[in-house]
Amino acid sequence: MVGAVVGILSGGRKTASSCGALCLHEQKPNQVKKLKIIALTILILGITIILSLIFIIWRNPLSGFLRSQNFAAQQIATNKAEITDEQLKNEIGQMIITGFRGTEILENSDVYKMITDVKPGGVVLFDYDVPSNSFPKNIVNYEQTKKLISDIQKYSATPLFVAVDAEGGNVNRLKQKYGFLPIVSEQKMGQDKTLQTTYKESTDLAVELRGLGFNMNLAPVVDVNINPKNPIIGALGRSFSSDAKEVSKQAKIFIDNLQEDDIVAVAKHFPGQGSATEDSHDGQVDITNTYKDEELLPYQNLNNDGFLKAVMVAHIINKNIDKNYPATLSDVFLQNILRKQVGFKGVIISDDMQMAAISKNYNFDEAIIKAINAGIDMVTVLNNSPKGYDKDLALKTRDIIFDAVKSGKIKEQRITESYNRILNLKKEFGIVYSAENIKERATRIKSKNFELIGETNALTFGEALEIAKEVEKSAVIRPAFLLSIFQEELKLEKFDMCYLTNFNTGEGVRVADGKKLGRVMKVDRDIQNFLEIAKELGKDPSKTLITCPMSFGYGGAMGPADFIPSTWMRYKDKIEKITGKPADPWNIHDAFLAAGLYLSESGANSKTRKGEWNSAMIYFSGSTSSPYTWYADGAIMISDNIQQNIETIELAEK
């Protein structure tokens, strides 16, 4: 093309026969001028195109590569920004669960400094101090423990997991002799195949734990009782059953009740140590020849059904799975089995890293680093070892991990992975609040069923709370305490309702099984009043539900407030004056009002713990000096739990 254009502009050396119509010597002057302009334009256009192509071919690959590298560098700088040493230490702190000495926390104390400097992710409270062989370590009684936990959280930059071993039976740091609820062993729970014992015990335990301020329970044990003589499981009654499926069923009830009250349940001891013949507190435990595949089943079942949020790993060795390391230090156990095979996405917690199974075989630094690299999210260093107490143990653990990250022995990504899991779990259970989840949590609390005696699905918690607030206008009483009485009564009477069949003797029949019972109603005190109440309200007295008798005293109490007829008659006129209609003990609003008036007059109007405790005693037994203190203790615990729910709702509404 270029050669042709040049030939034309030079006049050409072609003959007429060869140049044809374009030969210059055959064109007119104006035509020649036009042709020159056209030729020049074509020449410029052609040169421009060729140079552009050469430039693109030469430049574009290099510039495209440089631009892509620059963009990638910007993305890396944005998405993988270097965190500061202080941020790294804070993230590592969340990976530590520790223990301490003290039944109270004072500013500038060693415990205060540990909490504010290390910022641990959690603490575990004990009643017994192993290093000194003495009581108490942390737990003395209900009120002291509640204040201790409150102070711990007050000084914590990020709210802590405050945990306890409360399995029931032999392993329960909250003992009855300190004023806590008696909780039977898992073995005892598991013997009841109807699941009712596990349901009741775990419900009571959850209420107590939340009332105290605990938000994590290092339970349930989901070890299958392969070896009943196992010194650390079977011999102590810590397993639900020797049947893995039964363990799964019982554990689901236990975990569900805890987690309904925002207590993180930690299933233990992965991968199962029910077949062990030795105690890992004393040394290395090898289950290579005793372990059964079915021991993994509870973890698989619980995870499949969405119950598994946190798992504690045992320091046991199974050489068929990992020839070199115990489960706590083994990525085969933690990554291949727990994460991939079971599919667990929650928080993995080590058993105490000071146990002899670890301390006799690994130095402390090595064990901590191996555990984290294997996949442990939270290392427990409980400071309750026979080797002694170290006030700086949590700090030393934090520094070991920090130095390992800085030296490349632990990848920073491992810290971030665990930190995110821990924080997400705390958000899920309302330990750490966020703008996104507070309203959701409040909505969930308000929508929970608030069961009453004889009224299984009558109210939600939100509806019950509104009624309690209305009662507060007529009777000076805290709504949380009023609601707690209804829950305490439900615990006693839920499965024990009767009909009165003999108005002369007070005998009746139990609805659940048709069994004939005496003492269903006290003849000279209540039957005439009961008949009058039933007549006025148009009820058949022989087909109206009342409570059965307990092992002592009489039954015959009516409606959700559980008033015996003679007591109801004392408040009948007051209720009718307030409501302007006939008083009905089976009407929910009237029952709430009656209970509120009675409790207020009995001391609850002071809105103090002592006043409320006294009023609960009177409500149940008519006296503050009766032996039934468990009723008042239970009501106070429930009211603490309910008050937390109310505060969550109020926080969401601000």
Active site residues: 281, 351
Taking the CB of residue 352, how many other CB atoms lie within 10 A of it? 23
Rounded to an integer, what distance in angstroms lies between the CA atom of residue 503 and that of residue 544? 13
* Contact criterion met (CB below 8 Å) for 356 and 316: no
- Residue recorded with tokens 């203190």: 629
- Residue recorded with tokens 């910007």: 74
Greatest extent of the chain over all pairs of C-alpha atoms, in Å: 146
At 457 the three-state DSSP class reads strand
Rounded to an integer, what distance in angstroms lies between the CA atom of residue 519 and that of residue 59? 101
Taking the CB of residue 619, how many other CB atoms lie within 10 A of it? 24
Taking the CB of residue 79, how many other CB atoms lie within 10 A of it? 7
Peptide bond into 589 cis (omega under 30): no
Write the burial class of residue 64 (CB in 10 Å: 0-12 exposed, 13-18 middle, 19+ buried).
Answer: exposed
Rounded to an integer, what distance in angstroms lies between the CA atom of residue 445 and that of residue 429? 12
Between 364-374 and 393-406, two packed helices, what is the crossing angle to 10 degrees?
60
Peptide bond into 220 cis (omega under 30): yes
At 288 the three-state DSSP class reads coil
CA 133 from centre of chain? 32
Q: Which residues pair with 639 in a beta bridge?
A: none
Rounded to an integer, what distance in angstroms lies between the CA atom of residue 264 and that of residue 13? 99
Contacts of 171 (CB under 8 A, 6+ apart): 165, 219, 236, 238
Rounded to an integer, what distance in angstroms lies between the CA atom of residue 306 and that of residue 193? 22
Structure tokens of 207?
A: 């209420």
Q: CA dist 378 to 23, 205, 369, 510, Å?
A: 93, 25, 12, 51
Type of residue numbered 422: I
Rounded to an integer, what distance in angstroms lies between the CA atom of residue 333 and that of residue 321? 7
Rounded to an integer, what distance in angstroms lies between the CA atom of residue 528 and that of residue 525? 8
Type of residue numbered 136: P
| DSSP β-ladder status, 166-168 and 497-500 | unpaired
Rounded to an integer, what distance in angstroms lies between the CA atom of residue 438 and that of residue 432? 10
